[in-house]
Chains A and B, each alone.
Chain A
């Protein structure tokens, strides 16, 4: 359902031993000049566009219109060229764009939309993994299957329901929608992690007289912190970067950065001083979170559903 639905992946590999290392080195015959060239070309294609827009976001408006961003290096050598934060200042605070308001909206949308579905999914995943009730397997397969429902198919009736109850245009429908849409993948992922916990641990707690609620909080939850982190990053990136749900369910007072920046791209498509700064304002937070928690993200991608 999200942009990067993690799927089956091979198991994470233990670090190679000395013997394996030798075999690996032997395998590395592909390291030819050609291979290096391919690597460099791909690496450049994957970074230069971002770099170009980043440089642009610090250039004066007039310069951006008159010359390409690559000319700044020559100018800098000649002692010319000015960099400033003026574009960011204008994008964030000027009356016409005021991205700071939309930044607040992004934040207000994202926090509950990450916290709520994870909590509900954790409880459900526990129920599916450790409570033995009739029809459990069929229900779990049904939840798993719901992953294939494209959110587009739910939008019109949901919006109608929100209008009927009078909550449309506020944050509530956005929080609700994101929470509901996240559940199938969240339950599936967390259930997989949860089944990896040794049965003996849970049984020992049960013998000691602990009820399900106590087991959930004192035995399971502490062990699941990495899994929770992994899914939290998925969900955070998905919600912060989402355009469709926010656009359909929201109103002018609730639009997040993505909606506003996409709107600017349409209405002021040539104003690159605003667009470049705006794009980086919207990119910055997910980039920081992603870099800081990359380890968990990769683990989530790889281990997500190995034994599904």
Chain B
């Protein structure tokens, strides 16, 4: 039995296990479908159960029940042995260290989606139908394939600091020195460091906003553009009075989608500073409390908080989706 569970550090064994896992899964699914197919005069429920059942079981076991468990946990003490009411939440909203974390998260959610959307929009407009459009878009698009860990390392190297007496190896500090300044320990200085971490997320997400907004700019009916041109609009006026209003629904969707990603940002903070120097956010603090400080109660409260903050964003998103559909 142990052989099927753990492969130790043997790579061949690992690969074998992987093949076995996939084969096992295929056999189970084939069995389910076989039974569904063979039954004579099956009821609708029986067939539906065969198709939808596995997903519903996994969703219940993997999302619904654990989420309920975490909500209960959030009212308990650090090892779940007794109920302590709202204490975890009160702590999260009163201790200065956690207030900083909440403040940082708010800053992330307000700034990063706006900048990523704005830059993506501007870039989409300026490279639209230029000679190098495809290539230019690919350049901004590529970071989407890079993990947040990889992107964080790329940017940490840009922010690298060396004392003024030696040559700089980080690009940003070299620029500072070239402009006649003193090198700065960028990642240590509050509150600038939080913004420098945001740069990484913006850098990744701009490709997303560019792609969606570029497509919706192209979907603007030409007669509207033509009519506006006859009215003497061009350049910036056209952009502001025609383009922006026409793609408003897409803009909202892009903003809220990036906001939801931003809210849960963990990898970047973990890799860049591990939450030190006043850069921690809720998702990072959740990890810290749950798995480092072993305070399951407080960790659960932070996770619930993440969930609660995301709800208004989603409601707004769904509303805008509905509006957008009516417009179409």
Chain A contacts to B: CB under 8 angstroms: 3-13, 16, 19-20, 23-32, 35-36, 38-39, 42-43, 45-50, 52-53, 56, 64-70, 101, 104-105, 107-108, 111-112, 115-116, 119-121, 123-124, 126-128, 131-134, 136, 139, 143, 146, 148-150, 152-158, 160-161, 166-167, 169-172, 175-177, 179-181, 183-184, 187, 211-214, 216, 237, 240-244, 247-248, 253, 258, 261-262, 265-266, 269, 272, 275-276, 278-280, 282-283, 286-287, 289-291, 294, 298, 301-302, 308
Residue of A whose beta carbon sits closest to that of B73? A156
A156 near B261 (CB under 8 angstroms)?
A: no
B171 near A10 (CB under 8 angstroms)?
A: no
B22 near A111 (CB under 8 angstroms)?
A: yes
A187 near B55 (CB under 8 angstroms)?
A: yes
How many residue-residue contacts, CB under 8 A, span A and B? 383
With an 8 A cutoff between CB atoms, is B61 at the interface?
A: yes
Considering the chains assembled together, what is the distance between the CA atoms of A272 and B52 in angstroms?
49
Chain A binder among B95-103, B188-196, B265-273: B265-273
14 A-B interface contacts by CB (under 8 A): A5-B260, A9-B212, A10-B219, A66-B166, A67-B169, A68-B168, A131-B51, A150-B263, A152-B303, A187-B55, A258-B147, A261-B153, A266-B274, A291-B145
Residues of chain B within 8 A (CB-CB) of A43 are 136, 139-140
A212 near B222 (CB under 8 angstroms)?
A: no
A143 near B306 (CB under 8 angstroms)?
A: no
A214 near B261 (CB under 8 angstroms)?
A: no
Q: Which of B204-242 contact A (CB under 8 A)?
A: 204-206, 208, 211-212, 215-216, 218-219, 222, 225-226, 229, 234-236, 238-239
With an 8 A cutoff between CB atoms, is B326 at the interface?
A: no
Considering the chains assembled together, what is the distance between the CA atoms of A131 and B239 in angstroms?
47
Given A46-B203, A127-B51; 5 other pairs, CB 8 A cutoff: A7-B254, A120-B54, A153-B306, A184-B63, A283-B145
A13 near B51 (CB under 8 angstroms)?
A: no
Q: How far is the CB of B302 from chain A (nearest CB, A)?
A: 8
B70 near A156 (CB under 8 angstroms)?
A: yes
B149 in complex: contacting residue of A126, A184, A282, CB < 8 Å: A282
With an 8 A cutoff between CB atoms, is B127 at the interface?
A: yes
With an 8 A cutoff between CB atoms, is B82 at the interface?
A: no
Chain B contacts to A: CB under 8 angstroms: 5-9, 11, 14-15, 17-18, 21-22, 25, 29, 33, 36-37, 44-45, 47-48, 50-52, 54-56, 58-59, 61-67, 69-71, 73, 119, 122-123, 125-130, 136, 138-150, 152-158, 160, 166-171, 174, 203-206, 208, 211-212, 215-216, 218-219, 222, 225-226, 229, 234-236, 238-239, 247, 249-250, 253-254, 256-257, 260-261, 263-264, 266-267, 270-271, 274, 283, 286-287, 290-291, 296, 299-300, 302-304, 306-307, 310-311, 314, 317, 321, 324
Contacts known (A170-B6, A279-B150); A4 close to B144, Cβ less than 8 A? yes
A116 near B25 (CB under 8 angstroms)?
A: yes
Contacts known (A10-B219, A104-B14); A47 close to B238, Cβ less than 8 A? no
Considering the chains assembled together, what is the distance between the CA atoms of A128 and B238 in angstroms?
44
A265 near B153 (CB under 8 angstroms)?
A: yes
B54 near A49 (CB under 8 angstroms)?
A: no
Residue of A whose beta carbon sits closest to that of B247? A10
Considering the chains assembled together, what is the distance between the CA atoms of A290 and B211 in angstroms?
15
B171 in complex: contacting residue of A20, A68, A104, A261, CB < 8 Å: A68
